[in-house]
Amino acid sequence: MTISKFGKYLRSEFSFQPGYTPLNHGSYGTYPNVIKPILRGYQDKAEEHPDRWNRFEQHPLLENNLKMIGQLINCDHKDLAFLPNASQGANNVLRSFPFKSGDKVLYYQTGYINVNKTLEFLRDQYNVQLVKVDLHFPLEDNEILKLTKDTIEEHHSKSNEPKIVMAVIDALSSLPGVRLPFERLTKLVQDNDILALIDGAHALGHIALDMKALDADFFFSNCHKWLYTPRGCSILYVPKRNQGYVHPTTITLNYEHHTEGSDYSSFSTEHIPPTLDTSPYLCVEAALKYRESLGGEQVINDYCHDLAVKGGALVADILGTRVMENSTKTLTANMVNVEVPVKSTTTKSDADIVNTFLQKLIYEHNTMASVYKNNDAWWVRLCGQIYLDLDDFKVAGNALLAIANEINKE
């Protein structure tokens, strides 16, 4: 496989219906056809002898696949656990951490809805106080740092109030699909005695990661988005110093209470999943092998990033608008955000506009990209991928323009 094969030619290596233009990889991901027989093979093995598989044979394979993730992101595989999705990563940490009534948690309004809703649950159930930082993109990295620093200072200057104990930070946020300066944010919050929980749902297979260098307190990521595993494969990373704080959301026989966060004695056993089809977890090896056959992480992500940048510019040109970017061009990784020209005079509700784009993109134009409101304007997130090229962005741009024109005429 050479780099010249990237582009729509590669679509035949995936399962897409002919004619579909998939510009929304970031929502659900997908995996190449070569992984299908491997996935099905593990499922067949499980059925051939359910007891042998569930009690014995899946376990060394699970550990091997965790080791491969450990090598990819530079950490001890004993600091990793498999989970079916990123939402569970957030829940495992947030719902088992021993917050005291009144403790504060810092978060951003651009955080993923499931994660921010989990925070609302903590507020309602345990009286955790939520400290929101509003990010109105496009923003410079330094502005994000400053908004966060100012918020911490404001709250920590109140001597009679509980402190912020944890901050939830996206590595790459969903909508807008932008890269945050999460490495610097991690350091900033930790310098203020705040634990850093990093939502890296979009991170594995998208940006270079080094867990030892990042030294986050908690980190989770999907593998089924950008790493090309089948859906239902995510990881949670917790360094040993904090493993005593974290239990799976679904408590099982291996549960142990710890009074110290640094008691890591049961983290791995507690995260052995109850009865579950673990075959997506076992496809990490095949996904990494496929990625290696394409040239590896850097080659893949160089292509996806370059396409996102060029494709975003092309769509902005078609729509007569702009790309969401800052002066140091850090916001665009493999997802690019482009303003959509929906006029503010429209009589449609916001929910109606989102739904109109969804329905028409999927059912009339056979494509998909997420349209959302940010900072009182409409934007679309388009995802670069190895199976796309500029023609595909043109298709999406023309579809978005046609739909925006229809909405503006109504």
- Binding residues (CB under 6 A) for ligand PLP: these are 27, 85-87, 112, 114-115, 170, 173-174, 199, 201-202, 222, 234
CB of 24 to ligand PLP, least distance (A): 10
The nearer residue to ligand PLP, 234 or 321, going by C-beta atoms, is 234
d(CA 387, CA 137): 28
- Whether 178 contacts 331, CB under 8 Å: yes
Which of 232, 244 has the CB closer to ligand PLP?
Answer: 232
Q: Which is nearer to ligand PLP, 224 or 291 (CB)?
A: 224
How many Cα atoms are found within 13 Å in the side-chain-facing hemisphere of 66? Answer: 22
Minimum CB separation of residue 198 from ligand PLP in Å reads 10
| Nearest distance, CB of residue 374 and ligand PLP, angstroms | 15
* Minimum gap (Å) between residue 45 Cβ and ligand PLP: 25
- Closest to ligand PLP by CB, 186 vs 321, is 186
- CB of 281: closest distance to ligand PLP in angstroms? 14
The residue among 85 and 326 lying less far from ligand PLP, judged by its C-beta, is: 85
CB of 222 to ligand PLP, least distance (A): 5
Residue (199 or 392) nearer to ligand PLP, CB: 199
CB of 177: closest distance to ligand PLP in angstroms? 8
Nearer to ligand PLP, 222 or 334 (CB): 222
Q: Which is nearer to ligand PLP, 155 or 202 (CB)?
A: 202
State in angstroms the smallest separation of the CB of 52 from ligand PLP.
30
Q: HEC states along the chain?
A: CCHHHCCHHHHHHCCCCCCCEECCHHHHCCCCHHHHHHHHHHHHHHHHCHHHHHHHHHHHHHHHHHHHHHHHHCCCHHHEEEECCHHHHHHHHHHHCCCCCCCEEEEECCCCHHHHHHHHHHHHHHCCEEEEECCCCCCCHHHHHHHHHHHHHHHHCCCCCCCEEEEEEECECCCCCCECCHHHHHHHHHHCCCEEEEECCCCCCCCCCCHHHHCCCEEEEECCCCCCCCCCCEEEECCHHHHHHCCCCCCCCCCCCCCCCCCCCCHHHHCCCCCCCCCCHHHHHHHHHHHHHCCCHHHHHHHHHHHHHHHHHHHHHHHCCCECCCCCCCCCCCEEEEEECCCCCCCCCHHHHHHHHHHHHHHCCCEECEEEEECCEEEEEEECCCCCCHHHHHHHHHHHHHHHHHHHHC
Closest distance to ligand PLP from the beta carbon of 170 (Å): 5
Identity of the residue, 181 or 261, whose beta carbon is nearer to ligand PLP in the bound complex: 181
